[in-house]
Structure 1
Amino acid sequence: MINPDDPYEIQIAKQAKIIEALINRAERGHEVGGSAYSLFESAIALQTEVWEKTKDLEKALDTLGRASSELEIAYQAQERIQRNLADAMVAMEGGFALFSEDRLQVCNAQFRQLLPDIEPLIKPGLGFDDYLAAVSASKHLKRDGSETAGRPQPEHGSGPRFSSFVMELRNDRWFQISYRQTSSGNITVLQTEITDIVRENRREKNRLIDQQAHFLQAAFDHMPLGICTFSSRGDLLVRNERFGELLAVPLPLLKKGSRFQRIIEYVERHEILDRKGGQPVFAGWFKAMRRGDTVKERFRRRDGMSLDIRVRPLPDDGFIVSVMDVTTETQAAALLEQRVQERTAELTEANRLLQIHAHEQSRIEAALRQAKEAAEAAHTSKTRFLAAASHDLLQPINAAKLYLSMLTDAAGRPGAEDAISRLNRSFASIESLLQALLDISRLDSSGAEFNITSFDLGSLLKGMAEHLAPLATERGIELRIVPSTRWVTSDQRYLMRCIQNLVVNAIQYTERGRVLVGCRLAGNRLRIEVWDTGIGISEEDQSRIFNEFTRAGGVGKGPGMGLGLSIVERACRHLDHPIRLSSEPGRGSVFSIEVPLAAPGLASDCEDTAMEPMVDGSLDLIVMVVENDPDELHAMTQILESWGASVLAAGSTAEAAALMQEIGTAPDILLADYQLDDGDNGIETIRTLRALAGVEIPAVIISASRQKEFLRLGNEMSFAVLAKPVQLVRLRALIDWKTRARVA
């Protein structure tokens, strides 16, 4: 009937009600009538119930007593806690308050006494926001012109409250108020006086400022510049000693707070610095500073010291003045200017001398130009002479060889053939000598031209072997040329002339044995070697063997004029083909020439020096021959007619054109000398006759000229070039080759 979990007051009330009910029932039992037994039975039952209830009541009283004891203990603990809290709040240095459900529950005296004007409001039940509003509106707070500065503001929102702020009171006291919301929803407020901390920080700040000012002042004092700062009103703030020394201003004028205007007036009054144009040197500075411009001036003191004064504006509308001693720089600049003037004078004089020298040099250059023009004219004259010599010297030789050929065919008397053979050899020697002299002259000329091409060396060596075989047979020498399939890059004519000269020399200076021509690879070059078993060359002769008119073994030891090796040396030097000699007297010699290798198949149009065999059969062609030399024209006509050709002979292009128009048909082939009379030439003859005929007439130019331009025209106009003196075998083969396709 009694719930032990109920509070003790409720359990005691319920027990009292039960006891009262039992007593009332017992009293009503005396009023009931009946027999004695019934009364006794009722009394026994009632007594039993009374005993049970009494036991329950005793238990309840015992429980109530224990609960009362525990409640008393709790009350005592609560009172002790409250006393301890009160003691703690009293002992706290700062103010403390506890707000429960945003209402003030308890606080200490310091909390109430912080702001006297709100002390009457600090009572239990005061709202937390009302407390913050009262603190913010307190008259004891120091204002700085802002409505909310230094005042706490109520917080709005559902999150936990937490804040801390510092307040400055009117009597230079400082407090920090902080509050925090606990996990149970209560708010604790702490008021802590931080006046000592603020004042200590202020003193430390001032100390640091003073220390920095001391450091700054020390730095200023040790600077070579004079430094002085002024406020926006022109009051002196900071300066160093150097400032006063440079401007010669007394110390009383350089005290803190001195006006900039007074310092200027002192400097101007005592004329410490030079004036400009009679006006104060500092006029207009204030206007420039008000515009934010930087002022820079250079002055000279009475004692000769040069000063640079610069005034710069500062961000706080003040300005800084710096003074620098630039005497050394000024003196250096003056010295430099003096040196520049002296150097300018020297340069002016040097320029005058250079002009005189230039004038003299111009005169010398004019003389050199005239000398150069004279040399070029001489060179041109020499070139023309060589061209004329090539033509005029070889012209009669060519005609003589043609007549000798005719005589050889016609000779039948005994002894005539031997005479003609000797005459042929004589003319061959003259031809060889003239060719050698002309080659040396061309190679010594600064305008020597070379036709560099790629060609098959093997076929040319084979042709040379066939050409020189009769000479070797006549001398009783075995001539052997090792076959080669290599291609090289060089001037074909000069290279073959060099190899031929070496082989001819080897044959002529070998009494018995053999001459061997072969090729060896030497990296990316090919070494062409000529071996002989001849008389050899001594070391003394090896140093001069390549000179003109020099022969091994002394004069009279061999045929020829000693020009072959000279031509070899000149040609190889121009072509950059190294030439080497190894020889031992009595055992023979080895000459070698190194030439660059070329890729097979990259051949250019080249001249074939091989000796073609004489073509058999009659030459059933109409041949136009244009030659200005009557003897050579007659001889060439006789040779061609002996071959069975019908010859049209002309001495110029005009005569050739007239002959072709007269017969009414174009010739089968045209043979024209390059050099004709009155500026006429064989190339013009080819152009004219081809234009008249309307077809490309096969043509051969006969000339001693080997210029690149001449050979290029031959490739462009499709005509062949045959060198003088003419080899009849070569001429017959060339005519047959040029007309073969036309006849077919």
Structure 2
Amino acid sequence: MIDPNDTLEVQVAKQAKIIDALVRRANRQHEVGTTAYSAFQSAIALQGQIWAKTRDLERTASELESVRHESERSRKTLADAISAMEGGFALFTDGRLEICNDLFTSLLPDISPDIVPGVGIEAYLCALAGSTHLVAADTDLRGLATQLGQGGAGPSVLSCVTELTGDRHFQIGFQRTSSDNLVVLQTEITGIVRQNRSEKESLIDMQAHYLQAAFENMSSGICTFSHDGEVIMHNSRFRELLGVPYTLMQKGTELGQILGFMQLNGLVIDTPALEIELWRERLGRQGRLRRRIRHAGGRVLDLHAHLLPDQGFLVDVKDVTLESRATEMLEKRVAERTAELTLANERLTEQHAVQTSVEEELRLAKERAEAAVSSKTRFLAAASHDLLQPINAAKLLISTLQETAEGTTLSRTVDRLQGSFQSIEQILHALLDISRLDTTDAALTPQDVCLGTLMQGIVEDQMPVAEKKGVQLDIVPSSVFVRSEPRYLMRSIQNLVVNAIQYTDAGGRVLMGCRRHGNRIVLQVWDTGLGISKADQARIFEEFARAKNVPFGSGMGLGLSIVERTCRHLGHEIRVRSAPGRGSVFCLDMEMVPGRRRGADPDLPKTPEDADMDLLVLVVENDPDVLFATTQKLENWGASVFPTSSTEEARRVVEEIGMPPDIILADYQLDDGDTGIHTIRAVREASGVKVPAIIITADRSADLVRTGAHQGFTVLTKPVQLSRLRPLIDWKTRGPGATPLIRITDKSSA
């Protein structure tokens, strides 16, 4: 009921009200009591409560008296402390003066009567601003009153410096207390201000001495002028460089007098530079002036004038005689050097003209060489068909002759003849491959190639050669794909296998397989043959280079050169490890194509050599020898052959026999722009049946292979391998790859 935080007077008042209320309650209970005993009990209880409250009231009154006495003593102590302070002190409570010392009221005698307890802070500051003893203040006192009147929203500490009459200075500080009262302090700073003023004047004088000393020790001549053009300060170097007397260079001398003296005495050769109006116009417009003048004494001077903030100006004079002479000498040397360079340039121009003429001759020679190479390439491309035609015919005829002469005395002669033609074929293929690799990279278009298919085909081709020589030829199957050009990669691997068989004696072994190294595939060809020495390993990939231990007449040394060129163009790496007498291993390092596996290879039917073919075969060949040899070979196999030399003749044959042939064997390049593709299309249109077909050609382009896949015919390159031709014919006519003889209703499907 009683808040202990209230003052003692408030607590006593509240207790008195409580006691009065208890007495009135007791009287009411006595009036309404039904018995004397109840009244007596109420009186006793009431008397006890009154005695307790009376004791509390007496104790409270005693404490209040003690607090009052302590407050009076504290106030007296505060007044004594304030009076003992060196500066003026005042405490404003709720914006009004509560207490202050005598120094605070006596600072400005003319406003002392106005500074009494209860005066507001605004009234005090207004009186202070209007005092006749106030000379100046660094702050607007009335504006300061506005800031102090903001209460807690304003700054907690403010101060201003005032100057009073008699060169007295005071700092008046305003600081808010935690209870939001305001304390004002007046501190005299007259001694500090006078000391700072004295030190400033002394520093200015000292700086003037320092500046003069710095001027005197400068290598340049320095002189400062006022805005009226009168000398303020200069150094002796300025006077020495210009050659003016000491009596003229005095403080207050006008610039016009100095320039007139120099002009009158001919001290400067460039007299227009001494016109005072020029100086005034240039400094007023640009704020600076620069002139190089020649002194009568032979010196060259650089004169600089700069406008100063007070509209005066500073003149700087430097002796640049040596610099000027060096510049003149340098200019002279530059002129001489320019003349030399001009002469040298003329000579270089002549040499350049000669060099241009030589380069033009070299360019023409290069063009002629490139034209010769291009001509050679075109010749080889055109001649390859003509070169391979007789070889193809000879192979077919020799094969027929070999079957005829078997068991006779001519058998060995025919075998030797077949070996000679195989050597011719290998050399011709090597020369054609080298020519293609050296002339262009465009033919080498990398694609995904299955190594297993390539290796299996090479082994099947070379197995008869290995068996005939008594060499064991083995292969480790693989289904991995690599990124390469299939035709040249096949030729490279075939060259390695042929060499391995050729240089391995009977009873030896040749092994071909692949190893994986990360994302690379290394195809290896091992043999137990002659081996290669360290010295020969560095040169065996050159043209016509053979190891020293190779028997004479065993080859021209072109196979490995083709392998090296192919690998270089395709980005493969070729390596060899070998030891004489122990064999060799050749390695082809290639990029693997991940995620691809070889599908099932077509199983070519294994037809016995003596089994009759029993097929109607339409042969289209414009070379009579090749046509005759092919016809003889097919007839020996038991086929019925219709030899023709053009598309038109083939069409007539089909119309005459009144039925489609079982298969078409056509050369690609025929006479007068005719091709085997035209023949296949014409026969299919004439017969109305999609006849199986094989193109036999010397053209090794990938476009022809793609065309064959699109139009349904197979491409074999010349000279044709008979070991592949017959199984392919059987596979296309009787095996899983046979094309059903369906009637063509849409000519576009032909």
Same fold (TM over 0.5): yes
CA distance in 1, matches of 2:603, 2:649: 33
> Identity, % of aligned pairs?
40
Given the superposition, is the C-alpha separation of residues 318 and 661 from structure 1 closer, same or farther in structure 2, using an over 3 Å criterion? Answer: farther
Q: How big is the shift at 1:499?
A: 4.2
Q: Among 421, 435, 439, which residue is 2:430 paired with?
A: 439
**One-letter code aligned to 1:741:** T
Given the superposition, is the C-alpha separation of residues 380 and 297 from structure 1 closer, same or farther in structure 2, using an over 3 Å criterion? Answer: same
In structure 2, the residue matched to 1:48 is: none
**Secondary structure at 1:243 match in 2:** helix
**Secondary structure at 2:513 match in 1:** strand
Written as runs of structure 1 = structure 2, the 5 A alignment for 1:44-443 is 166-167=162-163, 169=165, 174=168, 194=190, 201-275=196-270, 280=274, 283-291=277-285, 293-407=287-401, 411=404, 415=407, 419=410, 422-423=413-414, 425-440=416-431, 442-443=433-434
CA distance in 2, matches of 1:602, 1:242: 94
Q: Contact 1:611 / 1:729 at 8 angstroms: preserved in 2?
A: no
CA distance in 2, matches of 1:372, 1:131: 105
In structure 1, the residue matched to 2:741 is: 743
Q: How big is the shift at 1:232?
A: 1.7
When Rg is computed on C-alpha atoms for both structures, the one with the higher figure is 1
**One-letter code aligned to 1:583:** A
**Secondary structure at 1:593 match in 2:** strand
Q: Contact 1:460 / 1:610 at 8 angstroms: preserved in 2?
A: no
Given the superposition, is the C-alpha separation of residues 639 and 221 from structure 1 closer, same or farther in structure 2, using an over 3 Å criterion? Answer: same
Q: Among 578, 581, 601, which residue is 1:582 paired with?
A: 578
Q: Contact 1:453 / 1:604 at 8 angstroms: preserved in 2?
A: no
**One-letter code aligned to 1:571:** V
Q: How big is the shift at 1:717?
A: 7.1
**Secondary structure at 1:257 match in 2:** coil
**One-letter code aligned to 2:236:** E
Q: Contact 2:504 / 2:527 at 8 angstroms: preserved in 1?
A: no
CA distance in 2, matches of 1:494, 1:484: 19
Q: Contact 1:650 / 1:656 at 8 angstroms: preserved in 2?
A: yes
CA distance in 2, matches of 1:217, 1:343: 47
Q: Contact 1:490 / 1:595 at 8 angstroms: preserved in 2?
A: no
In structure 2, the residue matched to 1:11 is: none
**One-letter code aligned to 2:741:** V
Q: How big is the shift at 1:517?
A: 0.5
CA distance in 1, matches of 2:115, 2:544: 141
Matched, 1:571 2:563: yes
1:204-247 deviation per Cα after TM superposition (whole angstroms, max 9, x unaligned): 32211101111222222223333322222222223233322332
**Secondary structure at 2:375 match in 1:** helix
Q: How big is the shift at 1:447?
A: 1.2
**One-letter code aligned to 1:325:** D
**One-letter code aligned to 1:596:** M
CA distance in 1, matches of 2:87, 2:511: 126
Given the superposition, is the C-alpha separation of residues 239 and 133 from structure 1 closer, same or farther in structure 2, using an over 3 Å criterion? Answer: same
1:310-336 deviation per Cα after TM superposition (whole angstroms, max 9, x unaligned): 222222222222223333443343333
In structure 1, the gaps of 5 or more residues are: 1-83
Q: Contact 2:492 / 2:562 at 8 angstroms: preserved in 1?
A: no
CA distance in 1, matches of 2:452, 2:516: 17
Q: Contact 2:620 / 2:643 at 8 angstroms: preserved in 1?
A: yes
Written as runs of structure 1 = structure 2, the 5 A alignment for 1:3-82 is none
Q: How big is the shift at 1:508?
A: 4.4
Given the superposition, is the C-alpha separation of residues 680 and 561 from structure 1 closer, same or farther in structure 2, using an over 3 Å criterion? Answer: farther
Q: Contact 2:212 / 2:235 at 8 angstroms: preserved in 1?
A: yes
Q: How big is the shift at 1:467?
A: 3.0
**Secondary structure at 2:248 match in 1:** helix
CA distance in 2, matches of 1:135, 1:454: 102
Q: How big is the shift at 1:389?
A: 4.4
**One-letter code aligned to 1:346:** E
**Secondary structure at 2:430 match in 1:** helix
Q: Among 559, 562, 584, which residue is 2:555 paired with?
A: 562
Matched, 1:594 2:588: yes
Given the superposition, is the C-alpha separation of residues 308 and 743 from structure 1 closer, same or farther in structure 2, using an over 3 Å criterion? Answer: farther
CA distance in 1, matches of 2:488, 2:124: 124
**Secondary structure at 1:578 match in 2:** strand
Written as runs of structure 1 = structure 2, the 5 A alignment for 1:460-471 is 460-471=454-465
**Secondary structure at 2:387 match in 1:** helix
Given the superposition, is the C-alpha separation of residues 197 and 516 from structure 1 closer, same or farther in structure 2, using an over 3 Å criterion? Answer: closer
1:83-121 deviation per Cα after TM superposition (whole angstroms, max 9, x unaligned): x9xxx99xx999999xxx99xx9999x979x99xx89x9
Q: How big is the shift at 1:434?
A: 3.6
Q: How big is the shift at 1:464?
A: 3.1
1:28-50 deviation per Cα after TM superposition (whole angstroms, max 9, x unaligned): xxxxxxxxxxxxxxxxxxxxxxx
Given the superposition, is the C-alpha separation of residues 657 and 255 from structure 1 closer, same or farther in structure 2, using an over 3 Å criterion? Answer: farther
In structure 2, the gaps of 5 or more residues are: 1-79, 91-95, 152-157, 743-750
User: Structure 2-normalised TM-score?
Assistant: 0.66
User: Structure 1-normalised TM-score?
Assistant: 0.67
Q: Contact 1:151 / 1:167 at 8 angstroms: preserved in 2?
A: no
**One-letter code aligned to 2:739:** A
**One-letter code aligned to 2:580:** E
Question: How many residue pairs are counted as aligned between the two chains?
Answer: 630
Q: How big is the shift at 1:359?
A: 1.3
Q: Among 622, 630, 637, which residue is 1:628 paired with?
A: 622
Q: How big is the shift at 1:701?
A: 3.9
Q: How big is the shift at 1:428?
A: 4.1
Given the superposition, is the C-alpha separation of residues 212 and 736 from structure 1 closer, same or farther in structure 2, using an over 3 Å criterion? Answer: farther
In structure 2, the residue matched to 1:64 is: none
CA distance in 1, matches of 2:524, 2:473: 15
In structure 1, the residue matched to 2:4 is: none
1:399-447 deviation per Cα after TM superposition (whole angstroms, max 9, x unaligned): 23333445566x4x8855x636742551342233343244146426621
**Secondary structure at 2:268 match in 1:** coil
**One-letter code aligned to 2:593:** A
In structure 1, the residue matched to 2:667 is: 673
Written as runs of structure 1 = structure 2, the 5 A alignment for 1:636-651 is 636-637=630-631, 639=633, 651=645
Q: Contact 1:237 / 1:256 at 8 angstroms: preserved in 2?
A: yes
CA distance in 1, matches of 2:144, 2:445: 107
CA distance in 2, matches of 1:526, 1:122: 116
Given the superposition, is the C-alpha separation of residues 517 and 252 from structure 1 closer, same or farther in structure 2, using an over 3 Å criterion? Answer: same
CA distance in 2, matches of 1:302, 1:663: 127
CA distance in 2, matches of 1:420, 1:561: 23
CA distance in 2, matches of 1:230, 1:461: 104
**Secondary structure at 1:284 match in 2:** helix
Which stretch of structure 1 is more off in the superposition, 626-635 or 543-552?
Answer: 543-552
Q: How big is the shift at 1:554?
A: 6.4
Q: How big is the shift at 1:520?
A: 5.9
Q: How big is the shift at 1:684?
A: 7.2
CA distance in 1, matches of 2:114, 2:476: 136
Q: Contact 1:294 / 1:313 at 8 angstroms: preserved in 2?
A: yes
Given the superposition, is the C-alpha separation of residues 614 and 154 from structure 1 closer, same or farther in structure 2, using an over 3 Å criterion? Answer: closer
**Secondary structure at 1:446 match in 2:** helix
RMSD: 5.6
Q: How big is the shift at 1:681?
A: 5.5
